[in-house]
Every structure is written in structure tokens, then in C-alpha cells.
């Protein structure tokens, strides 16, 4: 169903009257948006300012003070980072186009999800993007496009989420709007054009120019809340650049929008309203990215950003209807945003609340859900009665009687549910496309410190694994150790911290281990026989397979090429299960195998003795025999690393990256610093935070994200295999 997400966006055909008369806000005036960016670009601060100016909170918090609304977990407030995506709802009465004085009647309802920036918590961004209609991508005005900026941009593109860009931190030394805009075009391939320009920069940044309306918005000096500003004519020295920006914007829009193109050709005047409508059409079709600027920390340019969310990002009616599979068939069906249709929603997040128990966050795509209704889960084939429906305000829960199409809400008390499940009406059983998540890249062994902790540890890990699709826990069958696996050192550190705080479990952990993979380098054939005679009925299974390398990243493909009934159809799934089990266990060092093409080509059976168990064992033996002939190698995760350093430490940091088996991709000179882009094996990056602080006297910073798997050098592979088999490493 991935292909469904990649189809061209069709113009949605809204129902005649999709809104229920009972809903408080019409869908046309609803926005479901996410705030996404690289770590430290200012997502949470921007969200906090939006909540203040929309009247949801009466005192602005700051990340540094640990009192923001959306960073509500203790760990988030202590560390100053976002760990879990937080949902909240606010309301905005928009100014009349072009005047900034009058207000339009009914407020717009904006559901906001503030997502983490750290790559270890990328699952939070992934599942949020799956259910959003639009996104605000925040960029640092100094650093421009950073590695995690590219990751969240790819995630938004994958789920076809329209977005606007906010270039933040225009008050910081080294901020450069033009450079950040150029970065977006070059690195992200974005058709990005400014709808607002900065007035001044760094210490002299005091407002923005509205390009569409050709007005200046200048903030009152000394107003610490950023609530007072004047809408004036553009200062004389900036009029030319503002007019040029408008000309470029009209040209850019006319290249892709027929209505504006026609007005340009006929030399008709283009009103701000017509230009905004065209920008909105292009943004909703993913053909344009409007760019704004400001400083969330200094409270400049946030109100125009909220206006832009309303002006340019889509309502649930403006995006193409998602497509789902009819349960039990290959037929697809469109789920239109309509309160009067059958209920259909997607559970995108699970969370354990200490007061109400398990919360299931869900996005309603069609229909209504009320307290007391019965919902159906097509995956489990189970019905459940809804006892409580809640709207979420960060860490607060507000009980409501009903939710409608386009809403994001939470349910309490559902059983046997996982992230990505569809919840729907039993009369309309549909499976919506679930979000996809990356595999863990790092693992470590954990042990409870006391016997009393042992039982609580298992329960706590199970709950955390339910909440986080990128976290795994399992027992190593050879050593008996309990292994936890995740996306990075910080991810596993937070897991252990949550075990202690939320489940009162004290656990000690071993050194982190890399999640290697195994694959083959050449084709081979394998034969598996499982024959047992024990007096009565025996066991007989015989399968022959071919094994070949697959393209990197394509995964494992198993094909049935049996002709003439050499193996009866009913035993083919058993052979496939055996092959999958052998692939999961590996052959070199018990690491999962990846990127294989397996074909079941021949075999024999016995009329009486053949069974599913026998053919499953035959599949295991055949795969292992073929793999031993196919030159198995180990693959290791390689990280994309970006290091930002003052020029004087560049040589030392380059030398350190080379010692870590790093490959320098390119070096980029910025105004007052150097950016090193490298690819480094994850195995060499442990302890790098300490090393970079030491080498640069604390002045350099870095970020990294998973890039791909690459073969492990032969000189290092022997040591990894010895460690996996419990042998002491060979002496050099």
C-alpha cells in the first residue's frame, strides 16, 4: 500500500455538506498541523508562542526554564529537549486580508502536534506525519538546513504532507535569511518562495515585511510579550527589495497556477486575495512552499505565522481522501472527510497515563464517534465499547461527548491494540495504511538490581514497547540476558530513566551493542531434508531453494517457483515460515539477514508422513545450507554526521573522524564556522559527545542520523564474530 501514498495528489471532491450540525467548528476552519525540524531549531518555543498568542495559555514558558506546555515530561524539562510528540488545540481569529485590523467571525481551530527533533525519537515524527494535513517546517536562520531537517522533510514528502517554512532565530548572530532560503532550494529541492521578509537581522531584527500585502509589521520596542506591533508602509530603504520579492513570487506562482498565469498574460492586476488563494492551491498540491521568518524566542513574526497556517495549509477537506483496503480483499476504497459517513480512524500512538491508564491517540478520517459507541478493529476482529473520549491539551485530558471527521483525540481502556491499527464501524471494515518505522540500530543488556524488580521490569518494558514502535525488548536465548534495542544511546537512556520514574524499576545496563545485519554476496542453492521415523507415523519434508543477493534496502523476497505439485500447496506456507525463521536468526552470528532473494524451486513429499512441521524444518535447513555457500558478510549501520566547529578546531576534528573510520563527504564554510559532513560507522561513534567537547573546548557541536548499512571490513569482522560467540577478542 506504500504506492497509494506516492500517487499524484488528486483534487479532493468534498461531499455536499460534510459537516454535522453538532460539531463546534466546521472542517473548513480546522487545521491539523505539525511543527517539525532539526533539534534546537526552535520547534517547542515556536509552539509555545503560538499557544500564547491564540489565548490558550496566559504566560509563555521557555525551554531553558523547563516550563513549556508541550514539553511536559520530567525528562523533557530537565534536558531541554522534546522526547514525545505532544498534541494540543488552539483557536485563532484571523485578520481580514490586507488590513490587519478587522477580524473574521468564527475562529479557526488549529490542532498542533509538536514533534521531537532528535533522531533517536524519529518514530514520533513518523507517526505524526501520517495523520497530519499540513506541517510547519522550522529552520535555524544561522545553520539553515541541517541533517534532521532533511529527515523530517523526507518524512513529510513520504506521506505527502503540504508544508510552509519558518526561518527562525533571525535575531541570532550570523542569521542570514537568503542563505537559509538557498539551502532549502539546494538541499531539499523545495520550490520555496518568501511570503515574508525580515526587517533587519541579528540584534537589529525588529519586524517582517508582508510581501503579498506590501506592508511592514514592526514590533514595539520594549514590549517583552511581542503582542504590540504596528502595520505600516514599508520603510523606504526596503521598498525595492519588497517589490522585487513580490514580482518573483507572482512569477513563481504563475509558472504553476493557470489562474494567475492568465492574469499575468492579460496584464490584469493581481489582488492579495487572488495571490493568496493561488499560493494555497499550490501548497495543498505540494507544488510550492511559502517561506516566513521571525524569532520565536524574541517573540517576533509569530502572529503572521499563525495567519499563514490558516491562509496556506489545508483543512481536512482540502487534502485527497486517504485510501484503505477493504478488510479481507484487495479492493481499495476512499475514506472521505464527512461527518455523515461511517466511522473510520487510525490509531497512531499509544501512551500510558498514570491516572487514566492506556491512552490511544487516533485521527478521525470519517464519521463521528460518541461515548457508548461500539468500534471494530479489523486486525484483531474484535469489537469494543467506547467508555471515554478525550481531547488532548499536552498533559491535560478533557472529556468530550463526541469527535468528528478531522479531529485528533484519545480513547481510554481499549485492549489488544497496536500503533497503526484502524478503528472503524463494523459495517465498513477498512484497513488504512499504517505508519512505517525504522529498525533499531543499537542494543544493550539490562538486568534488574533486585528480585523484586524482575517482575516489574518485564511489565515496564512491555508497556514501553507498546508505546514506542522503534523500541524492542527480547531475551537472548543463548545467554539468557534481557536485551533492549532502540535508535540510539539517548533513546535507551530515556527508556531506563522512564523505567525508574514511572515503573519504579532500578536496572543496570551493559555496554551498548550494535545491531548488525547479515547478507549474502553471491547466488547459491540449498537443500533441506527433515526425515524422522519413530515406529508409527514419521515426519517427512524436503525442499530445495535458490538464494541470491537482493538490492540494498529491498529486504527479503521469498517466491514460490514450484511447478507440477512437487510440494503440495498446503505445505508452501510452512516452507516460507521456516525460511523466515532462519533469516531472522542468521547464520554467521545470529544477526538478522537482509536483502535476499529466495526462491522455492523443488522438493518432494510423502503421502502419509509429510506435515507442516517437517516442511518448516526443511525450509530452515535449506536456507542455512544455501547461506553457508553464498559467502555471508556482516553489515553495520553507517551514520550521516554533521559537525559544526570554529575554524581553528577543524584539523583536530577531521583527524578524529578519520580515526573513527569516517569518510568525509564535503566541507562547507559558513560565516564564522566550518561544517564537516561525514559518514561514520555507528560502532565508532560511542562517546563522541565527550570527544568533540574535549577537542573543541566545548565550542563544536554535532548531529547524526542513520544513513544505510555497509559491509564490515574483514579486519574488524573477526572480532565481532568472536564477541557474538562469546570468545575473547583475538590479539592483534
The C-alpha angle 300, 305, 307, rounded to 5 degrees, equals: 125
Distance CA 373, CA 457 (A): 35
Contact 97, 141 (CB under 8 A): no
The C-alpha angle 219, 221, 225, rounded to 5 degrees, equals: 70
Confidence of residue 31 (pLDDT cuts 50, 70, 90): very high
Give the cell for residue 118.
Answer: 532528535
Q: 24-312: what fold?
A: Rossmann fold (3.40.50)
Q: How many CB atoms lie within 10 A of CB 179?
A: 18
Task: Indicate the DSSP class of residue 111.
Answer: E
Give the cell for residue 587.
Answer: 547464520
Residue 74: per-residue pLDDT: 59
Domain parsing of the chain, residue ranges: 24-312, 323-432, 442-515, 518-630, 635-724
Residue 63: per-residue pLDDT: 57
Per-residue pLDDT reduced to its tens digit, 343-401: 999 988 887 776 667 788 889 999 999 888 899 988 888 888 888 888 877 667 788 88
State which H helix or E strand residue 49 sits in. helix 43-53
| Helix, strand or coil, per DSSP, at residue 522 | coil
Distances (CA, A) of 641 to 24, 648, 685, 699: 47, 19, 10, 17
* Span 643-668, average pLDDT: 89
Q: Which range in 117-126, 359-368, 695-704 is most confidently predicted, on average pLDDT? A: 359-368
Per-residue pLDDT for 710 more than 60?
A: yes
Per-residue pLDDT for 97 more than 50?
A: no
Q: Give the burial class of 715: count Cβ atoms within 10 A of its Cβ; 0-12 exposed, 13-18 middle, 19 or more buried.
A: exposed
**Phi, psi of 730, rounded to the nearest 5 degrees:** -65, 145
Which residue did the predictor score with more confidence, 456 or 140?
140
Per-residue pLDDT reduced to its tens digit, 568-585: 888 899 999 999 999 988
State which H helix or E strand residue 397 sits in. strand 396-400
State which H helix or E strand residue 600 sits in. strand 596-604
Residue with cell 550570523: 174
Distance CA 716, CA 701 (A): 29
Per-residue pLDDT for 318 more than 80?
A: yes
Per-residue pLDDT reduced to its tens digit, 274-311: 999 999 999 999 999 999 999 988 888 999 999 999 99
- Kindly provide the residue ranges of all beta strands, DSSP E only, lying in 46-162, ordered along the sequence: 86-92, 108-114, 134-140
Per-residue pLDDT for 14 more than 70?
A: no
Q: What percent of the chain has pLDDT over 70?
A: 88
Residue 94: per-residue pLDDT: 62
Q: 518-630: what fold?
A: Ribosomal Protein S5; domain 2 (3.30.230)
* Pairing label, strands 134-140, 163-168: parallel
Confidence of residue 731 (pLDDT cuts 50, 70, 90): very low
Per-residue pLDDT reduced to its tens digit, 51-70: 888 877 766 656 555 555 55
Equal fold, 323-432 vs 442-515: no
Residue 261: per-residue pLDDT: 93
Residue 671: per-residue pLDDT: 66
CATH of 442-515, one of 3.65.10.10, 3.30.70.870, 3.30.413.10, 3.30.365.10: 3.30.70.870
* Span 162-190, average pLDDT: 92
Give the cell for residue 199.
Answer: 526587517
Residue 478: per-residue pLDDT: 56
Kindly report the average pLDDT of the chain as a whole number: 83
Residue with cell 494555497: 280
State which H helix or E strand residue 35 sits in. strand 30-37
Nearest alpha carbon to residue 226 among 203, 207, 251: 207
Contact 409, 364 (CB under 8 A): yes
Per-residue pLDDT reduced to its tens digit, 456-473: 888 888 888 888 888 888
**Which residues, 6+ apart, have CB-to-CB distance to 724 below 8 Å?**
588, 589, 590, 591
Distance CA 320, CA 277 (A): 18
Per-residue pLDDT for 715 more than 90?
A: no
Distance CA 48, CA 78 (A): 17
Contact 556, 548 (CB under 8 A): no
Q: Give the burial class of 356: count Cβ atoms within 10 A of its Cβ; 0-12 exposed, 13-18 middle, 19 or more buried.
A: middle
Nearest alpha carbon to residue 42 among 82, 73, 84: 82
Per-residue pLDDT for 72 more than 70?
A: no
Distance CA 624, CA 529 (A): 12
Residue 304: per-residue pLDDT: 92
Residue 290: per-residue pLDDT: 96
Task: Name residue 633's beta-bridge partners.
Answer: 519
Q: What is the sign, positive or negative, of the torsion defined by CA atoms of 8, 12, 13, 15?
A: positive
* Span 584-594, average pLDDT: 86
Nearest alpha carbon to residue 69 among 553, 59, 523: 59
Distance CA 480, CA 360 (A): 33
Least confident of 252-266, 638-652, 690-704: 690-704
Residue 47: per-residue pLDDT: 86
Contact 450, 395 (CB under 8 A): no
Q: Which range in 24-33, 69-78, 269-278, 321-330 is most confidently predicted, on average pLDDT? A: 269-278
Residue 585: per-residue pLDDT: 86
Residue 263: per-residue pLDDT: 92
Q: What percent of the chain has pLDDT over 90?
A: 28
Least confident of 101-110, 242-251, 275-284: 101-110
Q: Which range in 16-25, 326-335, 404-413, 718-727 is most confidently predicted, on average pLDDT? A: 404-413
Residue 728: per-residue pLDDT: 38
Residue 514: per-residue pLDDT: 81
Which residue did the predictor score with more confidence, 443 or 710?
710
CATH of 635-724, one of 3.30.750.24, 3.90.245.10, 3.30.70.240, 2.60.34.10: 3.30.70.240
* Span 667-676, average pLDDT: 81
CATH of 323-432, one of 3.90.79.10, 2.40.30.10, 3.40.710.10, 3.40.50.1100: 2.40.30.10
Q: Which range in 49-63, 284-298, 321-335, 435-449 is most confidently predicted, on average pLDDT? A: 284-298
Residue 283: per-residue pLDDT: 95
Per-residue pLDDT for 25 more than 70?
A: yes
Contact 273, 259 (CB under 8 A): no
Confidence of residue 98 (pLDDT cuts 50, 70, 90): very low
Residue 453: per-residue pLDDT: 78
Per-residue pLDDT reduced to its tens digit, 335-357: 888 888 899 999 888 877 766 67
**Which residues, 6+ apart, have CB-to-CB distance to 226 below 8 Å?**
49, 53, 219, 298, 299, 300, 302
Amino acid at each position: 500500500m506504500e504506492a497509494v501514498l506516492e500517487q499524484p495528489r488528486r483534487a479532493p471532491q468534498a461531499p455536499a455538506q460534510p459537516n454535522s450540525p453538532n460539531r463546534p467548528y466546521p472542517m473548513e476552519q480546522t487545521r491539523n498541523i505539525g511543527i517539525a525540524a532539526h533539534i534546537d531549531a526552535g520547534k517547542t518555543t515556536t509552539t509555545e508562542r503560538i499557544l500564547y498568542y491564540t489565548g490558550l495559555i496566559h504566560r509563555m514558558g521557555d525551554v531553558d526554564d523547563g516550563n513549556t506546555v508541550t514539553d511536559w515530561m520530567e525528562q523533557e524539562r530537565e534536558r531541554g529537549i522534546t522526547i514525545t510528540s505532544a498534541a494540543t488545540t488552539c483557536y485563532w481569529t484571523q485578520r481580514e486580508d490586507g488590513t490587519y485590523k478587522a477580524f473574521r467571525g468564527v475562529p479557526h481551530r488549529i490542532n498542533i502536534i509538536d514533534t521531537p527533533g532528535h533522531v533517536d525519537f524519529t518514530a514520533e515524527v513518523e507517526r505524526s506525519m501520517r495523520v497530519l494535513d499540513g506541517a510547519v517546517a522550522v529552520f535555524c536562520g544561522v545553520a539553515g538546513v541541517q541533517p534532521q531537517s532533511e529527515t523530517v522533510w523526507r518524512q513529510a514528502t513520504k506521506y505527502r504532507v503540504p508544508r510552509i517554512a519558518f526561518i527562525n532565530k533571525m535575531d541570532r548572530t550570523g542569521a542570514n535569511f537568503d542563505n537559509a532560503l538557498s539551502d532549502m532550494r539546494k538541499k531539499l529541492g523545495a520550490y520555496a518562495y518568501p511570503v515574508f521578509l525580515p526587517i533587519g537581522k541579528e540584534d537589529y531584527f525588529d519586524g517582517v515585511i508582508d510581501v503579498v500585502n506590501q506592508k511592514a509589521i514592526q514590533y514595539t520596542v520594549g514590549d517583552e510579550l511581542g503582542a504590540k506591533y504596528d502595520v505600516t508602509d514599508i520603510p523606504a530603504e526596503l521598498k525595492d527589495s519588497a517589490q522585487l520579492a513580490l514580482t518573483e513570487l507572482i512569477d513563481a506562482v504563475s509558472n504553476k497556477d493557470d489562474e494567475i498565469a492568465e492574469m499575468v498574460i492579460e496584464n490584469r492586476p493581481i489582488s492579495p486575495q487572488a495571490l493568496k488563494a493561488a499560493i494555497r492551491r499550490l501548497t495543498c498540491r505540494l507544488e510550492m512552499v511559502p517561506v516566513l521568518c521571525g524569532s520565536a524566542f524574541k517573540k517576533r513574526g509569530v502572529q503572521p505565522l499563525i495567519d499563514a497556517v490558516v491562509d496556506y495549509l489545508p483543512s481536512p477537506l482540502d487534502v485527497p481522501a486517504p485510501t484503505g483496503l477493504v478488510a479481507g480483499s484487495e479492493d481499495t476504497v476512499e475514506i472521505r472527510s464527512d461527518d455523515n459517513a461511517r466511522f473510520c480512524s487510525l490509531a497512531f500512538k499509544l501512551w500510558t497515563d498514570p491516572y487514566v491508564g492506556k491512552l490511544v491517540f487516533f485521527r478521525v478520517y470519517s464519521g463521528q464517534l460518541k461515548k457508548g459507541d461500539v468500534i471494530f478493529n479489523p486486525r484483531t476482529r474484535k469489537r469494543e465499547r467506547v467508555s471515554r473520549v478525550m481531547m488532548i491539551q499536552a498533559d491535560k485530558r478533557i472529556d468530550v461527548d463526541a469527535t468528528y471527521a478531522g479531529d485528533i483525540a484519545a480513547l481510554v481502556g481499549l485492549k489488544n491494540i497496536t500503533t497503526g491499527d484502524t478503528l472503524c464501524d463494523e459495517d465498513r471494515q477498512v484497513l488504512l495504511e499504517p505508519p512505517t518505522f525504522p529498525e533499531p540500530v543499537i542494543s544493550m543488556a539490562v538486568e534488574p538490581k533486585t528480585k523484586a524488580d524482575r517482575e516489574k521490569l518485564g511489565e515496564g518494558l512491555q508497556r514501553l514497547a507498546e508505546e514506542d514502535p522503534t523500541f524492542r525488548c527480547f531475551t537472548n536465548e543463548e545467554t539468557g540476558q534481557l536485551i533492549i534495542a532502540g535508535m540510539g544511546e539517548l533513546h535507551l537512556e530515556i527508556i531506563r530513566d522512564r523505567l525508574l520514574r514511572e515503573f519504579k524499576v532500578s536496572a543496570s545496563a551493559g555496554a551498548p551493542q550494535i545491531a548488525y545485519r547479515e547478507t549474502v554476496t553471491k547466488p547459491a542453492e540449498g537443500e533441506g531434508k527433515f526425515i524422522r521415523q519413530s515406529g508409527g507415523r514419521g515426519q517427512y519434508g524436503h525442499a530445495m531453494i535458490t538464494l541470491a543477493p537482493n538490492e540494498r534496502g529491498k529486504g527479503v523476497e521469498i517466491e514460490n517457483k514450484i511447478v507440477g505439485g512437487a510440494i503440495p500447496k498446503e505445505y508452501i506456507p510452512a516452507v516460507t515460515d521456516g525460511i523466515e525463521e532462519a533469516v531472522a536468526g542468521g547464520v554467521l552470528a545470529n544477526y538478522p539477514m537482509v536483502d535476499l532473494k529466495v526462491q522455492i524451486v523443488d522438493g518432494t513429499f510423502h503421502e502419509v508422513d509429510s506435515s507442516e512441521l517437517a516442511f518448516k524444518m526443511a525450509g530452515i535447513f535449506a536456507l542455512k545450507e544455501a547461506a553457508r555457500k553464498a559467502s555471508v558478510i556482516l553489515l553495520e549501520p553507517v551514520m550521516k554526521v554533521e559537525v559544526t566547529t570554529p575554524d581553528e578546531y577543524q584539523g583536530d576534528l577531521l583527524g578524529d573522524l578519520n580515526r573513527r573510520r569516517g569518510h568525509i563527504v564535503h566541507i562547507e564554510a559558513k560565516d564564522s564556522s566550518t561544517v564537516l559532513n561525514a559518514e561514520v560507522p555507528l560502532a565508532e561513534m560511542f562517546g563522541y559527545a565527550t570527544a568533540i567537547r574535549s577537542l573543541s573546548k566545548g565550542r563544536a557541536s554535532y548531529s547524526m542520523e542513520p544513513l544505510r548499512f555497509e559491509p564490515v571490513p574483514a579486519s574488524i569482522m573477526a572480532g565481532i564474530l568472536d564477541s557474538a560467540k562469546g570468545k575473547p577478542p583475538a590479539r592483534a
